[in-house]
Amino acid sequence: MSEFSELLARYADVTARVGANVQPGQDLLVRADIGAAPLARQIVRAAYEAGARFADVFWADDQVALARFRYGSRDPASFDYAPAWKSEVLAQQIDAGAAFISISSEDPDLLADQPVELVAAAQRAVSRHAQPVYERISNSVTNWTIVAAATDGWAAQVFPDVPAEERVRRLWQAIFAATRLDTPDPVAAWRAHLAELEARAAALNARRYDALHYRGPGTDLTIGLVPGHIWCTAGMHSAAGTPFVANLPTEEVFTMPHRGRAEGVVRSSRPKSLNGALVDDFTLTFRDGRVVEAHAARGETVLRRLIATDEGSARLGEVALVPERSPIARSGLLFYNTLFDENAACHLALGMALRFTLEGGKELDAAAFEAAGGNISSVHQDLMVGSAELDIDGIRADGSAEPLMRAGEWAFDVR
Amino acid sequence: MSEFSELLARYADVTARVGANVQPGQDLLVRADIGAAPLARQIVRAAYEAGARFADVFWADDQVALARFRYGSRDPASFDYAPAWKSEVLAQQIDAGAAFISISSEDPDLLADQPVELVAAAQRAVSRHAQPVYERISNSVTNWTIVAAATDGWAAQVFPDVPAEERVRRLWQAIFAATRLDTPDPVAAWRAHLAELEARAAALNARRYDALHYRGPGTDLTIGLVPGHIWCTAGMHSAAGTPFVANLPTEEVFTMPHRGRAEGVVRSSRPKSLNGALVDDFTLTFRDGRVVEAHAARGETVLRRLIATDEGSARLGEVALVPERSPIARSGLLFYNTLFDENAACHLALGMALRFTLEGGKELDAAAFEAAGGNISSVHQDLMVGSAELDIDGIRADGSAEPLMRAGEWAFDVR
């Protein structure tokens, strides 16, 4: 077995055993582009070795999707159709108890040359059917995970200066490094890593901080946390009680900021890819939880458009802590893929808050959720602010401060 | 565009426009193994160019199917499961009006090393769900077709003596040659070819022969035809009235022999692949429609087992006429794939008769169908008997004979 094949097999093992945590006797459905067949097949192998009854792949093909734009009718009305069965099958299989693994391998530029209104119409048509799957996934009806596979288009974006024939190999190397596969037993390494993240979340939950205070070059920001906030990891439990990890890699612990309580200024530490455009070296000034000033050395227009999307897009929906020693942070790469980039550094999300990060949050109606400090928006964009020069304190209700991170690293013990 | 790409595109054009005959505004579902992606994508392109609203591919993967045998439980009970949704989706899409194209690209040896009882259990489980699709296809509820794509495993069987890296290219060449793509306008060439086959079927239907008389080296056989027999081609009409061609290539006109009326002896002209074993250089002796003697220089046991399958497997269910100038016959290749091999030479099928080759045949119950001369069996195996030395006469009810084929070529005019 080549080194690449060996690493791909380990990635699949971690995906099936730690990510989705496929159970003996359980079925598995993998959603993959046919370009990701080598990884998808390895995941099927790993699932059977974990005891799956029936492991199958629900294939898609970027090129078939593109053909509609290249050769089909240009009439926008024709793009108003999307087949319902693809979502129905996923929902049915989840309801029947199947685990679910999604392989992310989108070419971000696939539809870049196509008319925006046709792309939007096609996406709307797909969205109309997606709700049943989205609900099951977000409510953890089954054990599921998302992982990534390198493709030509994605690799070209991450490594524009690397010769074309080298890029995919380089991106796979980066994925493998980011996914902690360089140990003899990656499954055990991942279980240990997740246990540490969960211990940090538990410690933070026990401390009941009222706010966080960020300090670094260009940054002096205090973010209030909602009462009843829950520090979470990507580790979850399905309705049947099976633990799983919703995405691999994962490096973060995260919780819910109060939509009305952010004061000060924060400076970005890494560029952000927003709808295909790059926003870099930007500062945001908050008052009463709201962005009141935004500047960017690059992509300021795109950044301002994001902030102006709706009432909630100028407010925070998530605060996440990621140490600088994480493999993704150390790589120094911009992956142009949230799965990796959000795990590269401490980040703040503008937009929609995650209801499971608030006690009882799933049961509240919109007004009660906002009254509790939860933010509502049609967007949710992670902005990287962590660096080796960032300090973060936890602020208790009595105003006392405790170090959470120093110089980008954890500053409290959990052992 | 390379020559290969050009020929593949033409094959796809013929498949979409002549085979399935995808209509403007119609949806299309292609069933393909991911190894056949280049052809499947071209078919999608051709369907959109023909005016399809939405063309999609329902992918499968040989390697995922194999993984179950290699890595899954060896408990036969676990192979008793197959997902119902794959057939349900096809049936739904057909009912909603979608055209259907199946790409045949099976590796005949894929499961050769797996335990026979597990393979059989898996096939039974799939069959339990297949009936709704089978019924819609065999009743031409929609316009559909079957074509083929070359794969490594298949090519290895057809060209065992060709270097491995050359085989798939050679098999594609053979498929393209067999499919009459070496003309500037293959779509027009196919329409003309089909018109000739249909004219021959019409002429034969007008003549109302009582029997056919085969004469050649080792062959002197008279086969009675059922009253009300219909000479057919692969050209059909969907419930909506759309003409389509059920398989490409096609070279045959065929009808229903009387299960009780075959007298004499026939000698094979080409080897026959039967469940992975080769039967070659064989003779069958018929009395009162039944095989009473069978000899083969190779594979006699397998041949005898076929004949002994059930009451109908020793009797004829189809007679088909194919001229020796057909491209497949000229290639001299054994494709180990019925799509090609049945179109290489005049053939007789042992086993199940096709009900649509008898007037009113679909409405008869089993007893009435047999009483009318129709044969019932669980098998249907085409045996090639045509050669450049075969003569066939049509015998009228009054005993007079007319030449149908001489030296393997058509011996009557249809213009």
Residues A91-111 have a mean pLDDT of 92
Residue B74 located in a structural domain: yes
Residue B182 has pLDDT above 90, yes or no: no
Q: Is the pLDDT confidence value at A318 over 70?
A: yes
Question: Which of A22, A59, A69, A90 has the highest number of chain B CBs within 10 A, making it the mutation to test binding with B?
Answer: A59
Quick check: is B15 in a domain? Answer: yes
Contacts of A40 in chain B (CB under 8 A): 61, 64
Q: How confident is the model at residue B183 (pLDDT cuts 50, 70, 90)?
A: confident
Q: Do residues A296 and A285 touch, judged by C-beta distance below 8 A?
A: no
Contact check, Cβ <8 Å, A41/B56: no
**pLDDT tens digits for range A294-305:** 999 999 999 999
Calculate how close chain A gets to B76, using CA atoms only, in Å: 11
Q: What is the pLDDT of residue B161?
A: 96
- Per-residue pLDDT, A216: 97
Give the nearest chain B residue to A75 (CA atoms). Answer: B53
Give the residue on B whose Cα is nearest the Cα of A69. B48
Q: What is the mean pLDDT of residues A30-44?
A: 97
Tell whether B24 lies on the interface with A, counting CB pairs under 8 A: no
Same domain, yes or no: B239 and B116: no
When CB atoms are compared, the residue of B34, B71, B85 closest to A45 is B71
Q: In the structure, what pLDDT confidence band is assigned to residue A1 with cuts at 50, 70 and 90?
A: low
pLDDT in tens, A326-376: 899 889 898 988 899 999 999 999 999 999 999 999 899 999 999 999 999
Within this chain, do residues A278 and A372 fall inside the same structural domain, yes or no?
yes
Cis peptide bond upstream of A249, omega within 30:
yes
Residue B8 lies in a domain: yes
Taking CA atoms, B340 is separated from A384, B235, B322, B344, in Å, by: 60, 16, 12, 7
Residues of A in contact with B44 (CB under 8 A): 64, 67, 71
Instruction: Kindly determine whether residue A64 and residue B57, on different chains, have CB atoms separated by under 8 Å.
Output: yes
A71 touches chain B (CB under 8 A): yes
Going from the C-alpha of B45 to that of each of A29, A73, B51, the distances in angstroms are 28, 12, 10
Residues B153 and B299 in one domain: no
List the CATH number of the domain containing B141: 3.40.1830.10
Q: What percent of chain B has pLDDT over 90?
A: 83
Over the stretch B45-95, which tens digit does the pLDDT of each residue have?
999 999 999 999 999 999 999 999 999 998 888 899 999 999 999 999 999
Ramachandran area for residue A266 (φ above 0: left; ψ -120 to 50: alpha; else beta): beta
- Chain B positions touching A28 (Cβ under 8 A) are none
Residue B291 domain-assigned (yes or no): yes
Q: pLDDT at residue A268 above 80?
A: yes
Token pair for residue A324? 């600088």
Contacts of B48 in chain A (CB under 8 A): 67-68, 70-73
With a CB cutoff of 8 Å and minimum separation 6, the contacts of B76 are: B117, B118, B121
CB contact under 8 A, B67 and A48: yes
- With beta carbons less than 8 A apart as the criterion, state whether B33 and B200 touch: no
Q: ipTM value of the model?
A: 0.89
Of B34, B72, B89, the CB nearest to A59: B34
Measured in whole angstroms, the distance separating CA A312 from the mean position of its chain's CA atoms is: 19
| A-chain residue closest to B49, CA distance | A71
Domain match, B246 and B264 both: yes
Average pLDDT value for residue range B158-187: 93
Chain A nearest-CA residue for B32: A59
Mutation pick from A8, A31, A34, A93 vs chain B, by most beta carbons of B within 10 Å, is A34
Report the mean per-residue pLDDT for chain A.
94
pLDDT at A6 over 80: yes
pLDDT digits (tens, 9 = 90+) for B317-370: 999 999 999 899 889 898 988 899 999 999 999 999 999 999 999 899 999 999
pLDDT at residue number A390:
97
Instruction: Write the CA distances from A71 to A20, A65, B17, B51, B401, integer angstroms.
Output: 38, 11, 15, 9, 54
Q: How many Å apart are CA A347 and CA A357, to the nearest integer? A: 16
Q: Which residue of A lies nearest to B77 if distances are taken between CA atoms?
A: A53
pLDDT > 80? residue A7 = yes
Contact A41 B67 (CB under 8 A): yes
Strand partners, B211: B224, B395
CB < 8 Å to B41, chain A: 61, 63-64, 67
B1 pLDDT exceeds 70?
A: no
Residue-level pLDDT at A42: 98
Of A48, A63, A82, nearest to B71 by CB-CB distance is: A48
Q: Write out chain B residues lying below 8 Å of A64, CB-based.
A: 40-41, 44, 55-57
What average pLDDT score do residues A260-264 get? 98
Q: Answer with the one of B178, B207, B223 that is the final residue of a domain.
A: B178
Q: pLDDT (tens digit, 9 = 90+) per residue, A247-259?
A: 999 999 999 999 9
**CB atoms B92 and A85 under 8 Å:** yes
What number is the average pLDDT over the span A187-205?
96
The verdict on a CB contact (< 8 Å) between A63 and B93 is: no
Q: Which two tokens stand for residue B40?
A: 């499947």
* B167 & B209 share domain: no
Query: Any idea what the Cα angle at residue B93 is, between residues B103 and B79, rounded to 5°?
Result: 65
For residue A275, pLDDT over 90 is answered with no
Same domain, B100 and B223: no
Contacts of A63 in chain B (CB under 8 A): 37, 41
Q: Which residues of B touch A92 (CB under 8 A)?
A: 85
Contacts of B81 in chain A (CB under 8 A): 53-54
Q: Is residue A168 part of a domain?
A: yes
How many independent structural domains does chain B possess? 2
Residue A72 and residue B63: Cβ atoms within 8 Å? no
Chain B contacts of A49, Cβ < 8 Å? 71
User: Do B310 and B210 reside in the same domain of the chain?
Assistant: yes
Reduced to 3 states, what is the DSSP secondary structure of residue B52? coil
Judge if B218 and B161 occupy the same domain.
no
Q: Is residue B415 part of a domain?
A: no
Residue B173 has which token pair? 């060449």
pLDDT at site B106: 81
Structural domain boundaries, residue A219: 186-410
Indicate if B108 and B79 belong to the same structural domain: yes
Q: Which residues 73-112 of chain A have a CB within 8 Å of chain B?
A: 73, 78, 81-83, 85, 89, 92-93
Residues of B in contact with A122 (CB under 8 A): none
**Closest residue to A85, CB basis, from B53, B55, B89:** B89
Residue in chain B lying closest to A64 (CA): B41
Assigned domain for B171 exists? yes
Check residue B115 and report its DSSP letter. -
Q: Compare CB distances from B49 to A45, A71, A89 and report the shortest one's residue.
A: A71
Question: Do the Cβ atoms of B54 and A83 come within 8 Å?
Answer: yes
Residue B278 predicted with pLDDT over 90: no
- Say what the pLDDT of residue A280 is: 94
B208 and B75 in a single domain? The answer is no
Last residue of a domain, one of A178, A206, A229: A178
Of B192, B189, B148, B194, the C-alpha closest to B171 is B148
Q: What is the pLDDT of residue B138?
A: 84
- How many Å apart are CA B9 and CA B265, to the nearest integer? 45
pLDDT-above-70 percentage for chain B: 100
> Which among A189, A191, A159 has a CA at the least distance from the CA of A175?
A159
Q: Give phi and psi for B317, each to the nearest 5.
A: -120, -10
CA distance A93 to chain B (A): 9
Tokens describing residue B358: 């008898």
The residues pairing with B347 across neighbouring beta strands, listed in sequence order, are: B320, B384
Alpha helix stretches (DSSP H) within B50-106: 62-71, 85-95
Does residue B230 share a domain with residue B138?
A: no
The answer to whether the Cβ–Cβ distance between A61 and B57 falls below 8 Å is: yes
Query: Which has more confidence, A45 or A74?
Result: A45
User: Which residues on chain A are in Cβ contact (under 8 Å) with B72?
Assistant: 48, 52-55
**Does the beta-carbon distance from B89 to A93 stay under 8 Å?**
no
User: Which residues are within 8 A (CB) of A135 and not within 5 positions of it... i.e. 6 or more apart?
Assistant: none
Residue A415 lies in a domain: no
Q: Which residue of chain B comes nearest to A53, CA vs CA?
A: B78
Contact list, B52 vs chain A (CB under 8 Å): 72
CB contact under 8 A, A72 and B52: yes
Subunit contact B57:A52, Cβ cutoff 8 A: no
Interchain contact B56–A (C-beta under 8 A): yes
The pLDDT confidence band at residue A183, using thresholds 50, 70 and 90, is confident
Task: Among A13, A71, A79, A94, pick the best mutation site for testing chain B contact (most B Cβ within 10 A).
Answer: A71
- For A10, list phi and psi in degrees, rounded to 5: -65, -40
Residue A250 to residue B313: CA distance in whole angstroms:
62
Mutate to test the interface with A, among B58, B81, B85 (most CBs of A within 10 A): B85
pLDDT at position A247 is 94
* Distance from C-alpha of A209 to C-alpha of A225, rounded to nearest angstrom: 7
For residues A140 and A219, state if they share a domain.
no
For the cut 90, the answer to whether the pLDDT of residue B292 exceeds it is yes
Q: Which of B135, B151, B178 represents a domain boundary (last residue)?
A: B178
**In chain A, what residues touch B37 (CB-CB under 8 Å)?**
34, 61, 63
Say yes or no to pLDDT of B159 above 90. Answer: yes
Confidence of residue B120 (pLDDT cuts 50, 70, 90): confident
Mean pLDDT score across all residues of chain B: 94
List of chain A residues whose C-beta atoms are within 8 Å of the C-beta of residue B45: 67, 70-71
Q: A59-68, A335-344, B86-95, B284-293: which has the minimum mean pLDDT?
A: A335-344
- Condensed to tens digits (0 to 9), the pLDDT of residues A119-170 reads 889 988 988 898 889 889 988 999 999 999 999 989 999 999 999 999 999 9
The chain B residue lying nearest A60, using CA atoms, is B59
pLDDT for A337 equals 87
